[in-house]
Structure 1
Amino acid sequence: MFVDDYNLAPPLVPAGRPQDLLEAGQALSASLSPLDNSVAVFVTSAHASKPSKRPPDEEQPVYFASLDAIPSSERRLFITDTLVIFAAFQNLLRTGKSKQPDWIQNDQTTAVMRKLSIDYVNFIKECWIHASSPAPRPEGPLQFSADHYRSLYTCFSLFVVLYLAEPGYDEAPVGDDLMEWLNIHFIEPSTEEGDHLSSLKMPWEDESFWPYLTRATLRGLSKASVFFFKTLSEHPSLDLRHLSDKVAAIISSQPRLQNFSAEKDFASASRRWKDKVKAIRVEMEQIPEADRFDEFDNWWDRLSDIVGILEGRGEIVERVCAELGADWKEVCAAWGVFVEPRLRRQELPDILERILETLPPDPTNFEDMVHTALLFGKAGEAVAHAAQLDRWLSAHLADIMQPLGLLDGQIHDGISARDEHVLSYAEYLHSDPALWRITVEYMYSCGDVGKERGDEVLIRVPLRLRDATQPTEDGQIRAGNVVGVLKDVNQTCFDYQREAARRTVCRIAAQNFVRGKEYGLAVTYCCSAEDWQGLGRVVDCLLDEYVASGKSQCPSTFAQYASDIAPSLQNLDPQHASSQGVFIHRLMFAVRYSNFQQLRTKHDQLQNAALDLVAMFRDDVAPKSWWAVLLCDAVDLLQYPTMLLFSPSGAAELLNKLEEIFTRSAQGSGADYLDILTRTIRGGGHKEALERLKTVRLALARYFARSAMLSG
């Protein structure tokens, strides 16, 4: 790929000369971040077998960019608040599917789905109003304009009108609902025009009078239409005065579906009303041509258009809308109110196809294309256009469309149409790592593929195990402060039953705790993850703390570290399978050895220290690799001047272990017994370790001699 395609800033090579990079034997590579959906672009060798012509020590920049703009504060508020509705909808689906096969067709279910969808609409409306506020914004300019949220508002509300009618009204005429939607979202005529005309003594003299009155009638704004028809009572033409009174009465008496309990009554009333409109048409035709004008306009033609609309003449509706600068949406809504008052939702595609022949939608306007697809009943196309407008819109529309059976049920590469759009939105959320809770909630609603992606997000959440607000002297944290992110990630795994991901997170946490020398927490999380090999590594690191301190001086830090892991031992069963038992025994040794080191520092506990040392050998707790260290630790106890701390059998146990070490070392197995002791001897090897063990043999010999003398 050419450098220019990346549009890097600052550029690596002069503009228009991408070949310079190739001539230097270099190319560009990119790598996706495991934390979010950002990308790093950097220079690599164009040919692995050929070295680059650039100096090896030359600094090369790394370019970082996000595939999506990170949500700003107001966008994040929009995301988090609508998540509540999404979660409620998912809960509805989970509980509904467990009841009966046809749960989705239940009126109660439909009512809840409609209510939640209206919640989306209302919240988008609030965001639109907030974004439209001219008040200063301390957080800076909006990431998405007020017009953007207005587009979301119009699209989602139209979806509710067309696909989530009130229970029992899905087969009812749709004209009034469409007109109400149009008047809410695309206000025409404007309030300013009405205020201006109402302030005039003779408003018909204004050039905007008849267009305003025509559009008010077309939009079903009966109060405004009647008001301005009544202003014509002062018009010089007696014919217009007479007709305006009748037209005003006709408009105010137009039947509305919501005023009837049965559709047949509405249909009957509509026919009678149309007969009255025809009577006005007959009366108008009787007016002579010469009387159809005033000093400003041909009032008869203007009134004829209005009467033609009331008559339901489709060609007049289309022509008038075109003259007024209206688009196909206005024609469609007026068609359902005047031309075909009993127009049903499933009949809209046929009507729309005719309308779009003369007033096509704007293919560059994604909002307009969403409206068109929804009215055509093409839910898949509507969601595809919605994705280009805002992935939030496509995800939440698809989420509701799927249980309604509106989307293609076919699954491609393990992903349904609904999941494809929800996952796309989740990937957008992943641009901000702080939104990981929301990201995984959307991902986990998307089948096996989504769950796998959600797991990958969870195990890469920065755990932030150091509590910056409560620092300890060594910069570490204690068990009581392990809250926040790690706790939330664990809880999320429990909530979604993602046990494999939870164990992985626990293993990662344990590794972090080991680096911070929080061995107690590390052991806890290894056990929680059932990571027994990891547990063994933690114990090895803990024991290394003792080895690093040098010759058996019982460092206080080692004792503290070991005491931290003791509580974990109470919750473990050493009788488990051998693979697990090996590591638990290693943990048990670390705790027992720490206890021994603490006892040997107290004069009144030396007897117990000696007993504990022998018990570690007899109970087979001490690993062979540590026998030599324990025997060296026994020297001071063997040489205690005032009393014999070991029993004869205990001293014999120590001698047996010592002789085994010497014997095995002579047979070539010294590494199994001496490596750890060797590490405590600066610059020493197996030879030096055996020399040190000779002091143990000498101490034992003296001990047996003292014992014989005292017994004799």
Structure 2
Amino acid sequence: MAIKHVELVPPLVEAGKISELVQSGRAVAASLSPSDNSLAVYIVPLDLSTSKTSTTKQDEAVYFATYDDVPSSERRLFIADTLVIFSMFKSMLHDAKLRDPSWLQTRQALEIIRKLSVDYVNFIKECWIHASQPLSRPEPLQLSSEHYRSLYAMFSLFVVLFVPEPGYEDAPVGEELMEWLNIHFIEPSSEEGDQLSSLDRPWKDENFWPYLTRSTLRGLSKASLFFLDSLLQHPSEDLQDLIKMLIPVVESHPRLSQFTSERDFAYASRKWKDRVKALRVEMDRVPEESRLDDYYNWWDSLSDVLGILEGRGEVIQRVCEELGADWKEVCAAWGIFVDARLRRQDLSDVVADVLDSMPPDPTSLEDMLLSCLFSGHTEQALKYASSFDLWLSAHLADIMEPLGLLDAELDSESLGVSRRDECVLAYADYLHSDPSLWRITIAYLYSCGKVGEEQGDQVLMRVPLQLGDSGHSPDRLAEIVKEISATCWEYGRESVRRAVCKIASTTLVRSQDYGLAISYSISAEDWTGLGRIIDAVLNEYIQNGPAVFASHASKIAPSLDEMQHNSRTGELFAHRLMFTVRYSQIQKMRLEQDYSNAASDLVVLLRDEIAPRSWWPVLLCDSVEFLQYNPKLLFSFSDAIELLKKLEEIFIRSSQGSGNDYLTVLIRTLQGGGEKEALERLKTVRLAIARYFARCTVGHG
């Protein structure tokens, strides 16, 4: 890809003062944003080891710049609508590879390629017309109507020269070139024609003969015949006689479209040329003194018109120069008058000769690109197209490749990327300047082989992170992740889908949306991340108490069923999630004063060892409320024994140096203190159990 340059205004460092900056121990650095094409440019010390201790008198400026102009609303509409055609073209190529690569050379395939190419042309035309209208717009056009006019002309010429109708690849191309020229470079102007046609004696006007000559050169027979007919009123009888002979010649000029075979067209052209030659003989008979009128040398002007019809190349070129026309007009006229059977494969020879004396305008990207297309230099045309509009180079290259117009060998300077992929990747990089265009960006990236897939993966993985950091709601984030997941499914990027779900899960944990976060972790099969979410939910109990914990945990309950039906889920994490959900239900029952069911479930968590050992002390402390409940005994005798067994295990193992396995969570719930304070707290549980046994013995309650 081309090296890009960014100019900072005002400059970060004055011109010619880089050496002074270096001598001061500093340099210019830049950081590229991963979410778009923007970058931050700033001054840094050359020796980073001293950056923390060095001081500056004033804060250094940080510039935020971008390589590309972010597409405006109208440009985004153009980009989105042409993606539809690109996607259809890509789908056709994909089907061709599955069917048979050689199918692309069949008539059916070429018809599809031409149809889609013409679709591009028609859409560009609509954009040009829209941009040309003096409408009231919410924002100024990012690209002028002139830009789209040029785009229309260039893409149209490409279709004319390289995507002809199947079966007409070897047909004469002159008429198509002249039609293209008349559509995109209108001369003579209709205003001139209207002004001349309003005159009684138009030949007196200085623009008459140039207009007639130009309309003849352009093959505009109606305009030519109208003004030739006006010369029948000219005072020169010699001229009138010649015009009477010339009018039927112009009227009968053979056109390829009028014939069913090229052979018949060629025969008619030869016969017609004989009539033109006969007219030349008649012209030469006009005496020298009769060749002038009171205004001009009509004979010389009419001779130029006849010279064009005769197909005299030197006359056509001279006339074009005098009229201010350029090489394009000479080349188009050549295929009409000089060589009516001029074929596409022979056009480059004609163009080369014309360009020697009438070179294209080096200051016009449009003119340089058109000359490359006329000359058949498609690779060079893409270079000018890239400079003009990356959209153009990407879509031209996309069509050129299956047509065999590009070098099949990979460019070593472009990291093993084909010429087509290089152009499409550059366009996708431009699209990346607007993060909201990520769906369109990856559509182009994923059409560019392994390199494009890697870049597309990076774009997708940054979308949810960028949205989450921008403060979007969890519902909006879920909607975006759903879109990304569908995109990953479409392009077969399962690893990316999982990575995106992991990123989304992390983002949602920060906003305490634990239910959706767990769902994404399960979808990503990120069991380690799932464990961290469960710990975060349990931490709500430690930090904020049972009510907040129960509220958060209730939202992760649906995920328990999902995990239990997922054979790929790690048993350990399913077990931890089960404890979290069931323990939250106990807290909810406590808050609702459903003590009987809460006590029963608490014992189950301990007896079946659903609760992790680090949570045993917390559950035992919770049991004190149930042990002291009056007037009803909430635990059976065996339940109380189970509580005592767990309590004794904690004391015994703690005395043996394994207190960390049991007491860490309880210690965190205490306001200060350590293992000693935790064990003191558990002694109240022992006392409560002893009293409970006493109540059971005397049969109280």
Q: Contact between 1:229 and 1:244, CA under 8 Å: does it hold in 2?
A: yes
- Provide the C-alpha distance between the structure 1 equivalents of 2:570 and 2:237, rounded to a whole number of angstroms: 104
Deviations 1:495-552 (A, max 9, x none): 22222222122112111211111111111111111111111111101000001135xx
Q: Give the number of aligned pairs.
A: 694
From 477, 480, 502, the equivalent of 1:485 is 480
Cross-structure match for 1:184 = 183
Aligned ranges for residues 342-421 of structure 1 at < 5 Å?
A: 342-412=341-411, 413-421=415-423
Find the partner of 1:594 among 565, 568, 584: 584
Give 1:40's aligned residue: 40
What SS does the aligned partner of 1:572 have? helix
24-33 or 93-102, which deviates more: 93-102
Residue 30 to residue 170, structure 1, CA distance change in 2 (3 Å): same
1:669 alignment partner, SS class: coil
1:611–1:54 CA distance, 2 compared to 1 (3 A):
closer
2:143 paired residue number: 144
Deviation at 1:255, TM superposition (A): 0.9
Corresponding residue to 1:623 among 612, 626, 629: 612
Distance 1:49 1:521, change over 3 A: closer
Cα distance between partner residues in 1 of 2:297 and 2:153? 37
Q: 1:10 to 1:234 in 2, by over 3 A?
A: closer
| 1:432 paired residue number | 434
d(CA) in 1 for partners of 2:565 and 2:582?
A: 14
CA distance in 1, matches of 2:263, 2:14: 76
**1:316-369 deviations in Å (ceiling 9; x for gaps):** 211211221111111110111111111111111111111111111122211111
Residue in structure 1 matching 2:499, options 488, 492, 504? 504
Give percent identity, aligned residues only: 59
Partner residue in 2 for 1:560: 551
- In the alignment, structure 1 residue 525 sits paired with structure 2 residue 520: yes
Residue 15 of structure 1: CA displacement?
6.3
Q: Which amino acid aligns with 1:617?
A: L
Amino acid at match of 1:529: A
SS of match in other structure, 1:459: helix
- Aligned position for 1:457: 459
For residue 331 of structure 1, what is the aligned residue in structure 2?
A: 330
The 1:575–1:251 alpha-carbon spacing in structure 2 relative to 1, beyond 3 Å, is closer
- Deviations, residues 587-625 of structure 1 (Å, cap 9, x unaligned): 11110111121223344x323222211221233321111
Match of 1:312 in 2: 311
**What SS does the aligned partner of 1:102 have?**
helix
Q: Which residue of the partner structure matches residue 537 of structure 2?
A: 542
Query: Could you report, residue by residue, the CA deviation over 1:623-673 in whole angstroms, capped at 9, with x for unpaired residues?
Result: 111111111111111222323322233222222222221122122221121
Give the letter for the 1:498 counterpart: R
* Aligned counterparts of 1:235 and 1:500: Cα–Cα separation in 2: 83
Residue of structure 1 aligned with 2:574, choices 562, 570, 584: 584
Which AA in structure 1 matches 2:385? A
Change (3 A) 1:698 1:12: same
The question of whether the paired residues in 1 share the 8 Å contact of 2:304 and 2:315 is answered with yes
Residue of structure 1 aligned with 2:489, choices 483, 486, 494: 494
Whether contact under 8 Å (2:614, 2:661) holds in the other structure is: yes
- What is the Cα deviation at residue 302 of structure 1? 1.5
User: Which stretch of structure 1 is more off in the superposition, 241-250 or 93-102?
Assistant: 93-102
RMSD over aligned CA atoms reads 2.3
Q: How does 1:56-455 map to 2 (within 5 A)?
A: 56=56, 58-139=58-139, 141-412=140-411, 413-455=415-457
Superposed CA deviations along residues 173-202 of structure 1, whole A, max 9, x for unmatched, are 100000000000001111111111111111
| 1:570 counterpart = 2:565 | no
Q: Equivalent residue for 1:670?
A: 659
TM-score (norm 2): 0.94
**Residues 455 and 501 in structure 1, CA contact (< 8 A), matched pair in contact too:** yes
**Per-residue CA shift, 1:222-257, capped at 9, x if unaligned?**
001111111110112212111112212111111111
Quote the Cα distance in structure 2 between the aligned partners of 1:574 and 1:230.
90
Contact 1:24–1:52 under 8 Å retained in 2: no
Contact 1:293 1:299 in 2 (8 A): yes
**How many angstroms apart in 2 are the aligned matches of 1:170 and 1:6?**
45
1:663-696 per-residue CA deviation (whole Å, 9 max, x = no partner) reads: 2212222112111100000011111011111112
Q: Secondary structure at the match of 1:65?
A: strand
Q: Tell me whether 226-235 or 23-32 shows the greater mean CA deviation.
A: 23-32
Runs of 4+ in 1 over 6 A off after TM superposition: 464-468
What 5-or-longer segments of structure 1 have no aligned partner?
469-474
User: Does the Cα contact within 8 Å between 1:467 and 1:477 map onto a contact in 2?
Assistant: no
Contact 1:309 1:338 in 2 (8 A): yes
Q: Structure 1 residue 613 and structure 2 residue 587: aligned?
A: no
**How far apart, in 2, do the equivalents of 1:601 and 1:8 lie?**
63
Partner-residue secondary structure (3-state), 2:48: coil
Looking at structure 1, the residues matched to 199 and 426 of structure 2 have their Cα atoms a distance apart, in angstroms, of: 55
Letter in 2 for 1:455: D
Cα deviations by residue, 1:23-56 (Å, 9 ceiling, x for unpaired): 4422211010111001100121122244589635
Work out the CA distance in 1 between the residues paired with 2:237 and 2:258: 35
Amino acid at match of 2:628: Q
Secondary structure of 2:283's match? helix
- Cα distance in 1 between the residues matched to 2:472 and 2:37: 31
TM-score, normalised on structure 1?
A: 0.93
**Aligned-partner Cα distance in 2 for 1:208–1:607:** 108
**SS of residue in 2 equivalent to 1:600:** helix
Structure 1: distance between partners of 2:541 and 2:178: 81
* Corresponding position of 1:471: none
| Separation in 2, partners of 1:476, 1:485 | 10
* 1:507 aligned partner, one-letter code: K
Give CA-to-partner distance per residue, 1:474-510, whole Å, 9 cap, x none: x99676x665433322322222222222212211211
Q: Is the 8 A contact 1:548 1:680 kept in 2?
A: yes
1:691 aligned residue (670, 680, 683): 680
Moved more, 60-69 or 114-123: 114-123
Aligned amino acid, residue 559 of structure 1: A
Distance in 1 between residues matched to 2:101 and 2:436, nearest whole Å = 39
Shift of 1:17: 3.8
Task: Tell me whether 387-396 or 76-85 shows the greater mean CA deviation.
Answer: 76-85
For 2:53 and 2:630, locate their aligned partners in 1 and report how far apart those are by CA, in whole Å.
76
